[in-house]
């Protein structure tokens, strides 16, 4: 690891000491800090060479078939390994070791007993397959196991090597009969759909032609972060003219390509998949799969199903629809409706068409101010309109209609030339003030919200501090508790000195913790 390399540990002698001390135990170690280079490939190579040198040939596996193979470059993603195992069992072929999907320590040490190395992922797997050929003379064949046509070809290669072509054909016929119609159903619906493949290097050339031949899809762009020149040479040979190939693409390049090709689907990992979903494009996890396995005949149907579900998902259709315009229209209509009701409820409409003097009262809900009418003109009620006040003067006679849902609506008659009593005027003003009080308080709290919160916080903190001090004073008055606290403090001090200050290593640990606290609290950095 990086840590042992940075501090200068010589890990292999340490491992030998541990093996000697524990007895019946076998430990493998490889020095590969930082994957030993700028890409994962170099780290794989270092590991493979270390395993070949130290462990292969140190275990003898039980042989149960005259036909034995190693499957190299299979990582058992969502059960891929079990699909291949099923085919080999039907053909009577024993798999000595899977490198490294579902592999075991002992089976990988017994790889030297296989008669054939079947290589699936060619780059890193090729290292160990070539070493096995050099050291033990085990031949190597490369296969593709994704897609109908490639699965058929791979099984036929293995069958031809051992001279059991009839068994291979029987397996192929059985699997095709089981899954061919299902694949055809998806092909009818996926033909012509454009797809981008942004995965590891081998997946590009494993999937490109398979998607085009098996499902009629069109691969319009491909990218790989760790793919080598060999990977791109293979995928370009299998791809169509006009396809865009990107080596180690970044997000901005992905955006540009998506705008150019306008794909229906992207096969990629979760990191880029999250980016793609924000653009309302469906994606299928090309690294860990959505609902695998994807290998073999069964896997080809599973992969087609996941792509079909992604492209035709109703949720994806909804995500692509921008309904904000309709929402705005609805909100505006509702606001207009509310505004109209508010105006009717809280306003007074006065229609003045007479030359006679009229005293008009303004109030939000009820009229509390005294008003004067010409002599010999009684006030009477003509109609009822809920929650509104309407004064309509359309003749030479002064007529005032007074309505309110919150007061007595019976006609009010005032004697000629007689103003309201003073107590009624004072009561009306007080009533109006009470009605407006909630509005005043709401406006005040909105305008001075922050000062109010600050003031309340200061008061609360002051009260809390006083309560804590009072509790501490009470505790100090109890001798037993006071002694317990002192002994606890002395004990913790002694423990702290022995734990952190006696040794240089523990002092470094303490300094590291202080540095961590400084970054997290003072500088606001996340560890």
pLDDT score at 342: 53
Cβ burial 251-274 (10 Å sphere, 16+ → b, else e): eeebeebbeebebbbbbbbeebbe
The CB-based long-range contact list for 155-162 (8 Å cut-off, 24+ gap) reads 155/87, 155/91, 158/69, 158/88, 158/91, 158/93, 158/116, 158/118, 159/91, 161/116, 162/67, 162/93, 162/115, 162/116
Q: Is the pLDDT of residue 182 over 60?
A: yes
pLDDT, tens digit, for every residue of 224-268?
Answer: 877 777 777 878 888 888 899 888 888 888 889 999 999 999 999
Distance CA 429, CA 431 (A): 5
Average pLDDT over residues 10-35: 89
Distance CA 144, CA 180 (A): 18
Residue 217 pLDDT level (bands cut at 50, 70, 90):
very high
pLDDT score at 138: 97
pLDDT, tens digit, for every residue of 406-451?
Answer: 434 444 444 444 556 676 667 777 777 777 767 777 776 677 777 7
pLDDT score at 316: 78
Comparison of pLDDT for 340 and 275, the residue scoring more: 275
pLDDT score at 420: 60
CATH number of 173-319: 3.40.50.1980
CATH tag for 36-141 (out of 3.40.140.10, 3.40.190.10, 3.40.50.1980, 3.40.1710.10): 3.40.50.1980
HSE value, Cβ hemisphere, 13 Å, CA-based, for 514:
7
pLDDT, tens digit, for every residue of 471-509?
Answer: 877 777 776 777 777 788 888 888 888 877 877 778 877
The segment with the largest mean pLDDT, out of 21-25, 141-145, 188-192, 420-424, is 188-192
* Total-model pTM: 0.59
Residue 400 pLDDT level (bands cut at 50, 70, 90):
very low
Comparison of pLDDT for 475 and 217, the residue scoring more: 217
**Mean pLDDT across the chain, nearest whole number?**
79
pLDDT score at 423: 66
Closest CA to 412 of 429, 422, 400: 400
Residue 198 pLDDT level (bands cut at 50, 70, 90):
confident
Torsion angle of C-alpha atoms 102, 104, 107, 109, degrees rounded to 10: 130
pLDDT, tens digit, for every residue of 70-108?
Answer: 999 888 889 999 999 999 999 999 999 999 888 899 999
Distance CA 433, CA 427 (A): 10
Residue 7 pLDDT level (bands cut at 50, 70, 90):
confident
Comparison of pLDDT for 116 and 422, the residue scoring more: 116
């Amino acid at each position: 690891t990086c840590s042992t390399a940075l501090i200068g540990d010589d890990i292999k002698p340490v491992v030998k000491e541990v093996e000697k001390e524990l007895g019946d135990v076998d430990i493998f170690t490889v020095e590969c800090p930082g994957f030993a280079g700028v890409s994962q490939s170099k780290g794989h190579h270092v590991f493979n060479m270390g395993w070949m040198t130290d462990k292969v040939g140190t275990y003898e596996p039980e042989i149960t078939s005259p036909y034995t193979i190693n499957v190299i470059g299979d990582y058992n993603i969502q059960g891929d390994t079990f699909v291949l195992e099923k085919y080999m069992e039907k053909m009577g072929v024993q798999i000595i070791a899977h490198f490294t999907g579902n592999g075991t320590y002992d089976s990988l040490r017994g790889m030297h007993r296989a008669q054939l190395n079947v290589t699936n992922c060619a780059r890193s797997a090729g290292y160990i397959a070539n070493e096995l050929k050099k050291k033990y003379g085990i031949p190597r064949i490369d296969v593709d196991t994704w897609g109908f046509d490639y699965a058929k070809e791979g099984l036929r290669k293995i069958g031809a090597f051992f001279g059991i072509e009839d068994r291979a054909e029987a397996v192929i016929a059985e699997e095709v009969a089981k899954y061919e119609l299902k694949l055809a159903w998806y092909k009818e619906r996926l033909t012509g759909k454009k797809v981008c493949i942004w995965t590891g290097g081998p997946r590009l050339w494993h999937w490109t032609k398979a998607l085009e031949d098996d499902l009629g899809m069109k691969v319009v762009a491909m990218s790989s972060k760790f793919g080598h020149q060999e990977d791109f040479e293979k995928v370009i040979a299998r791809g169509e003219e006009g396809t865009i190939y990107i080596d180690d693409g970044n997000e901005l390049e992905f955006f540009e390509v998506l705008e150019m090709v306008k794909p229906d689907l992207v096969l990629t990992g979760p990191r880029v998949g999250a980016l793609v979903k924000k653009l309302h494009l469906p994606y299928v996890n090309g690294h860990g799969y959505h609902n695998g396995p994807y290998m073999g005949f069964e896997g080809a149907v599973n992969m087609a199903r996941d792509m079909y579900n992604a492209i035709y998902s109703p949720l994806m259709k909804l995500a692509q629809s921008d309904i904000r315009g309709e929402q705005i229209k609805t909100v505006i209509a509702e606001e207009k409706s509310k505004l109209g009701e508010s105006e009717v409820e809280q306003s007074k409409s006065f229609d003045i068409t007479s030359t006679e003097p009229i005293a008009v009262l303004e109030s939000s809900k009820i009229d509390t101010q005294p008003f004067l009418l010409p002599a010999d003109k009684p006030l009477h009620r003509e109609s009822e309109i809920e929650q509104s006040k309407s004064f309509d003067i359309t003749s030479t006679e002064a007529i005032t209609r007074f309505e309110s849902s919150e007061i007595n609506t019976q006609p009010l008659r005032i004697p000629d030339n007689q103003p309201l009593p003073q107590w009624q005027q004072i009561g009306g003003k007080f009533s109006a003030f009470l009605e407006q009080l909630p509005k005043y308080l709401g406006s005040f709290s909105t305008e001075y919200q922050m000062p109010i919160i600050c003031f309340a916080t200061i008061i609360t903190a002051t009260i809390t501090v006083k309560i804590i001090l009072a509790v501490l004073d009470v505790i100090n008055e109890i001798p037993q508790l006071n002694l317990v606290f002192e002994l606890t403090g002395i004990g913790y001090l002694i423990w702290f000195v022995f734990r952190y200050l006696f040794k240089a290593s523990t002092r470094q640990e303490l300094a590291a913790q202080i540095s961590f606290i400084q970054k997290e609290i003072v500088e606001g950095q996340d560890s």
